[in-house]
Structure 1
Amino acid sequence: MRLGFLAFRNMVSKPLNLLLSLLLLVLSVFLVTFVLQLSKQLSGKLDKNIAPFDMVVGAKGSPLQLVLSSVLHIDVPTGNIKLEEAEFLTKNPMVGSAIPISYGDNYKGYRILGTTHEYLDKYGATLLEGEMYSKSFEVVVGSSAAQKLELKLGDTFTSSHGLAASGVEAHEDHPYVVKGLLNPTGTVVDRLLISNLESVWEAHEHGEEHAEEHEEEHEHDHEDEHDHEGDHDHDEAHDHDGHDDHDHEDGHDHEHGEEHEHDHDHEDEHAGEEHHHEDREVTSFLVKFKNPMAMVQLPRFINENTNMQAALPGFEVQHLLGLLGSGIKTINGIALAILLVSGLSIFISLLKTIRERRQELALLRIYGLGTVQLLWVVFLEGLFLTITGFFLGWLLGRIGIWITSFITEASYGYNLQLTGFDATELAFLGVALLITLVATLLASISIFNLNISKTLSDA
């Protein structure tokens, strides 16, 4: 304890040297722990979210964008595909499951996803309370979305067109009702509002009809303005002609209606059925393979023989992490270089301390301290410095993760966890201690050659 106190007093006696060595060590440890935790947690979350699916089939475009939008829900879709054209996936013997999903609307920035109950089963999502949706415009809400939006069972809300919170076009004629709240899953389901496919289709069909009606009203208003530009006589003639034309059209329409009313109703019904089977669109299909051969054959077949695109989530995420990995390796290299500079700083600081206190060390030898004990004092000084710097750097790294979690959750819905020491960080601590030990031994060589009488006489 006496040697430890002496080492501590020696360490704090040179505050500027202490501050420089600490800053270098803290910066190095901060960079390593922050980057390692960030990459580890992001990689774990990405792997967990893509695990239920082997392939995504959607519109032509960037395969990475397709995976990010359809599986991870952090990008905009590449487009829509015809439901009828993609339904062959559900009948393919190499496919275990093919789940359609459809996008289009959001509520306060949280995406409304149209899909089947099987999608929730793939992520192991279970109900906390309420029941699953069974009709159009019924939703179940993920745990994170329910908490942030303060939604409860029976609440209603209207969606906004688009996937961004800035969407202003609300589907007020089709409010959604909350039928169920989901338990936390730690996946993308937690930040989604999930309904059936018909909800997305019906909402957008209504939006298209509203746009057409608005366009017709605009054209009608324009025609009225044009009619009032002529003189009164022209208006009378126009009205008379319009009356004759109207009578003629009424007669024709009445006759046509009597002759073809039944056929017209039949055609409407048939057109409605065709609309359901031919004109329905989805954002993508999420596919789980039945056997490994499908991964080799199906993506190539789809990409070469259809107007759709197949992307493999595992491959695209690994490619993304590979790009991030290059940056991570660079940052880790910089951190290691800073750590070596920190070790050099500790070495210089200890060497300077030993040379300035040669008389004190000589007196300690006279009072009975051996060479090993003097070495221990110097090593304890370096040890205190290393442990203090490592702990402060580790703590700063965790604060960085905490701040980053707010940013990633607000932008992408991904929150990061604060964890304790892991094996990699403990290994890095071991490297830091080893560098400190080497620096201490190098700086303490002069202790072995300490001439007590000459040192005291020079004083």
Structure 2
Amino acid sequence: MKLSYLAYRNMVSKPLNLFLSLLLLLLSVSLVTFVIQVSKQLDGQLNKNIAPFDMVVGAKGSPLQLVLSSVLHIDVPTGNIKLNEVAIIQRHPFIQTAIPVSYGDNYKGYRILGTEVRYLDLYNAQLTEGRLYEKSFEVVAGNTVAQKLGLKMGDSFVSSHGLASSGGEAHEEHPFVVTGILKSTGTVVDQLLITNLESIWEVHDHGEDEHHEEGDTHKEGDTHEEDDNHEEEVETLEEHDAEKEITSLLVKFKSPLGMVQLPRFINENTSMQAALPGFEVQRLMGLLGSGVQTVNGIALVILLVSGLSIFISLLKTIRERRQELALLRIYGLRTGQLLRLALLEGLLLAIIGFLSGWFVGRFSIWAVSLYTQDSYGYGLQITGPDKMELFLFGVTMAIALMSALLASRSIFKLNVAKTLSDA
């Protein structure tokens, strides 16, 4: 009879002990693997999405909220800023790229972002079909949006006011037309409907069209009066454009000096605020890190308890089966083979518990991914085991092996004659 089969039969003969030991192992492994993967993927996603920008300029408020809303698109904006107020910043010699973004509407929960085409270039977004927007109310759809909503080339839709998927006022007078579908980038671009800034302004400039219609209707006798007042009309239009608002300005620096000097200058000398995405994301991950460490600490305690459970289970099994072990010795099994039998039982229990916990952890990631995808537009990937999980597997095996060795010490003291005579 093979020792591995005998170890398996010994293990399943005590189903309650088996269940408790496996449950403890499963809980600890699933907790650790779940936390490792979530924190790793979250950190990777955040860093990937903030990589194109060094600074965000927006309305006064929480800098973290500004970064979350303007770069990651998972929060509400702190407010709007005047377009003419950021003109000086855009022309600053320390700045390489400054891209204005504006939003406030959604289509079925997906944000409609008004910005320049350069925004797509910074995320290396490429078209899978169609073309980029060229005029107002033309949009390109991110890959995830197009798949989730079934958008195709030439489709039209009406936006709703606000960033929530329900309850907003529909802008039926300004339908958007899909002119292009983007390839998947693995960034926030996949979750957006992107158009030009003018589209966002026109949607929210209620009554402006009527004003222009009245201004365009003239009598024949008014020709000279119109010529006389042409300069005044141009000035009025310039003032009107100066009153345009954007949600924020996304900035990439030419020099590290910009990161040192500009944020402080903006925060102290303007009505706007500057936030550094890298710093804010690091601070956010620091806050989450304390929770991650707490969960990992709890999981480690459970793992040690599971090792104690294996020790108690094997010790109880060896004591209850002293007569069987003595008979095995008579049939030719040596002390070393009996020790291997106990070790195999402990290791088999640890392997089954670890694999069960790993699969439960991955199932939990899948379940959480469904929620985060619907709520925030970010999904988690189901990946194979990484280095940390392989290290955890080694630790689990070591704890199980140590527990089995400690429980098997009595095998070396087994007196075959005395044990069988007492039976």
**TM norm structure 1:** 0.88
Q: Which has the higher helix share?
A: 1
**Are positions 1:306 and 2:264 aligned together?**
no
Tell me the residue number matched to 1:76. Answer: 76
The equivalent position to 2:338 in structure 1, one of 362, 368, 374, is 374
* Structure 2 match to 1:54: 54
Check if 1:396 corresponds to 2:367. no
In structure 1, how many angstroms separate the alpha carbons of the residues matched to 2:70 and 2:416?
Answer: 77
Secondary structure of residue in 2 paired with 1:79? coil
**Which residue does 2:236 correspond to in 1?**
271
The residue that corresponds to 2:392 in the other structure is 428
Report how far residue 430 of structure 1 moved. 0.5
CA shift digits 1:404-433 (9 cap, x unpaired): 000000000001110111111110010010
Alignment-mate amino acid for residue 248 of structure 2: S
SS in 2 for 1:369: coil
Secondary structure at the counterpart of residue 236 of structure 2: helix
Q: Secondary structure in 2 aligned to 1:418?
A: coil
Distance 1:367 1:172 in 2: 88
Render the CA deviation track for 1:191-220: whole Å, top value 9, x for unaligned: 100001111111111x355999xxxxxxxx
Aligned to 2:216: none
Distance in 2, matches of 1:427 and 1:131, equals: 48
SS in 1 for 2:274: strand
Aligned residues: 415
After superposition, the CA RMSD in angstroms is 1.8
1:419 aligns with 2:383: yes
Q: Evaluate the alpha carbon distance shift between residue 116 and residue 259 of structure 1 in structure 2; reply closer, same or farther with a 3 A threshold.
A: closer
Structure 1 residues 412 and 265: alpha-carbon distance in aligned structure 2, compared to 1, 3 A threshold: same
- Where do 4+ consecutive residues of structure 1 move more than 3 Å? 208-212, 257-269
Alignment partner of 1:41 is 2:6: no
Matched position secondary structure for 1:92: coil
Structure 2: distance between partners of 1:165 and 1:33: 33
Cα deviation digits, residues 92-118 of structure 1 (max 9, x gap)? 111110000001111111101000010
* 2:159 paired with 1:195: no
Could you tell me which residue of structure 2 aligns to residue 105 of structure 1? 105
Query: What per-residue deviation string (whole Å, max 9, x for no partner) do you get for residues 306-340 of structure 1?
Result: 11000000010011111111000000000000000
Cα distance in 1 between the residues matched to 2:97 and 2:267: 19
Separation of aligned partners in 2, 1:210 and 1:77: 27
1:209–1:170 Cα change, 3 Å: farther
Question: 1:94 maps to what in 2?
Answer: 94
Q: 1:182 matched to which residue of 2?
A: 182
Q: Distance in 2 between matches of 1:399 and 1:27?
A: 13
Q: Per the alignment, in what secondary structure is the counterpart of residue 98 of structure 2?
A: strand
Q: Distance in 1 between matches of 2:309 and 2:11?
A: 13
Q: Specify which of 368, 371, 383 is matched with residue 347 of structure 2.
A: 383
**Partner AA of 1:23 in structure 2:** L
In structure 1, runs of 5+ residues without a counterpart are 213-253
Residue equivalent to 1:288: 252
* Matched residue, 2:19: 19
- State the partner residue of 1:320: 284
Question: Which SS does the other structure have where 2:251 is aligned?
Answer: strand
State the partner residue of 1:169. 169
Structure 2 CA distance for aligned equivalents of residues 44 and 185 of structure 1? 14
Unaligned runs of 5+ in 2: 212-218
Equivalent residue letter for 1:146? A
Q: State the shift of 1:169 in Å.
A: 1.2
- The Cα of 1:167 is off from its aligned counterpart by 3.8
CA distance in 1, matches of 2:381, 2:168: 34
**TM-score, with structure 2 as normaliser:** 0.95
3-state SS of the aligned residue for 2:273? Answer: strand
Question: C-alpha offsets along residues 146-202 of structure 1, whole Å, 9 cap, x if unaligned?
Answer: 111111111111111111111431211111111111000000000100001111111
Distance 2:200 2:226 in 1: 32
Match of 1:246 in 2: none
**1:247 paired residue number:** none
The CA deviation at 1:263 is 5.1
SS in 1 for 2:185: coil
Task: Please state how far the C-alpha of 1:267 moved relative to its aligned partner.
Answer: 3.3
Partner of 1:10: 10
Q: Distance in 1 between matches of 2:306 and 2:324?
A: 26
* 2:322 matches 1:358: yes
Q: Which whole-Å CA distance do the structure 2 matches of 1:284 and 1:129 have between them?
A: 29
Alpha-carbon separation, structure 1, partners of 2:106 and 2:45: 23
SS at match of 2:368: helix
Counterpart secondary structure, 1:202 = helix
Secondary structure of the structure 2 residue equivalent to 1:105: strand
TM-superposed CA distance for 1:389, in Å, is 0.5
What is the distance in 2 between the residues matched to 1:192 and 1:263? 46
Greater Rg, structure 1 or structure 2? 1
3-state SS of the aligned residue for 1:153? coil
SS in structure 1 of the partner of residue 128 of structure 2: strand
